[in-house]
Structure 1
């Protein structure tokens, strides 16, 4: 547990050598249910915690989750960097390592686990070229390499080309650009289809084929009407033919 590590550091910093004073100092830093539990044991038995190690052992047995070391070991062996950076990945490995106290993993295995869990990239490739003896050495080199890569990437993306100002004078023609545009337009022209002769390779205004002659397919044999003869005149003539000659024509 991380709290035990902080407790040992605080005891060493205050130079507390007496066992009873160490237990009293540890109890004073408890809170919540743990503090209530420790006060209850002291009221029942003033000598319930004979030393600091006994205090740690009983506290771990009471509040530590069951099979905590087995779970931490299993998670450590399967740990991967994923989307985390190298620093966060290293801190997680340190935390899981501190949770395994009864039967700790050897350093060479920890180095292998750390290197295998790194994401594929320059940092992992660089570590596989070295012979590392401890986990902290591997973490230090990995963080240094990751920092160098970040700095190089930041400097390359922050570079900007100098702004070019117009001098106002004549500028040389880009002949290569003109030739490429001409070739591109020629290739596009080869794919076009003429609307007059239905052939590819040219446009209708460039076509040399004769223009098609329009034909009137709806012509009739009826003679054209004279000027002044409309639809009413034609209807009157048809009526006269059906009814016979008029009275005026018979008198004549």
Structure 2
């Protein structure tokens, strides 16, 4: 309805009717606008709720993907074992070859694959004369140890006594127990065998040397009654027999005969 038509319709009414008509018209317009606003508010609330649900679903999906990625990375990450090794001091008492065995085991357990890291780990376990020797080389040439194998070879050239394996083999073949107990004797023969890395002495020869060089007595007699296939088996058997003998001696010396008193004499105070 146009403005002119409304004006003509209002002119036909008296003043009170005009006011009532205008008020009703305005009220109808306000109600219509309120309905539009309520509808928009309802639609906005529904849209916001939908967006919240979509956001929550996307966040949950992202979290699940992160958890799955983290779990797969954790499952792929290899476990490491931190093994401590002895320090190599560069003295003749330290077996360099045996230290190399400890070093290789620790590197494998720690899963150190990088060559520079392997050299750094090996150098961190030097002490005594060997540590300043390595530092001097690194000061003159930062790339003196290009790999772990180069590091080992330079250690051998510097600190390994000449013909060390020959001397260890010769000492092994002429070894005697002497004044050492069975355990100390076994540890010494283990040390000598660990110093031999090439042309290894076979197990039967080691068993023969161990049994022949142990001092005469019950332990040696017990060993010769058995068929032993390895040095460790012979050592374990000898130590068990030696322990049993020591226990028997300790029990016999701790037992005392009860004192006897003459019944005809005076009773002791």
Listed as ranges, the matches of 1:163-182 within 5 Å are 163-168=259-264
User: Matched residues in 1 for 2:242 and 2:257: separation?
Assistant: 27
Aligned pair 1:97/2:197, yes or no?
A: no
Q: TM-score, normalised by structure 1?
A: 0.61
| Counterpart among 153, 166, 176 of residue 80 in structure 1 | 176
- 1:140 match: 236
User: Matched residues in 2 for 1:25 and 1:96: separation?
Assistant: 27
User: Matched residues in 1 for 2:265 and 2:134: separation?
Assistant: 89
- 1:159 match: 255
User: Matched residues in 1 for 2:234 and 2:207: separation?
Assistant: 7
Aligned-pair distance for 1:67?
1.1
Aligned-pair distance for 1:9?
4.5
More helix by share: 2
User: Matched residues in 1 for 2:155 and 2:265: separation?
Assistant: 85
User: Matched residues in 1 for 2:262 and 2:224: separation?
Assistant: 53
Greater CA drift, 38-47 or 123-132? 38-47
How many aligned residue pairs are there?
170
User: Matched residues in 2 for 1:5 and 1:165: separation?
Assistant: 67
Say what the alpha-carbon RMSD is for the aligned residues: 2.2
Aligned-pair distance for 1:15?
4.0
- Quick one: structure 1 residues 61 and 102, their matched pair in 2 at CA, closer, same or farther if it must change by over 3 Å? farther
- 2:71 match: none
Q: TM-score, normalised by structure 2?
A: 0.57
- Quick one: structure 1 residues 168 and 16, their matched pair in 2 at CA, closer, same or farther if it must change by over 3 Å? farther
- 2:132 match: 36
Listed as ranges, the matches of 1:216-231 within 5 Å are none
Higher relative contact order (CA 8 A, sep 6+): 2
Aligned-pair distance for 1:82?
1.0
User: Matched residues in 1 for 2:169 and 2:241: separation?
Assistant: 27
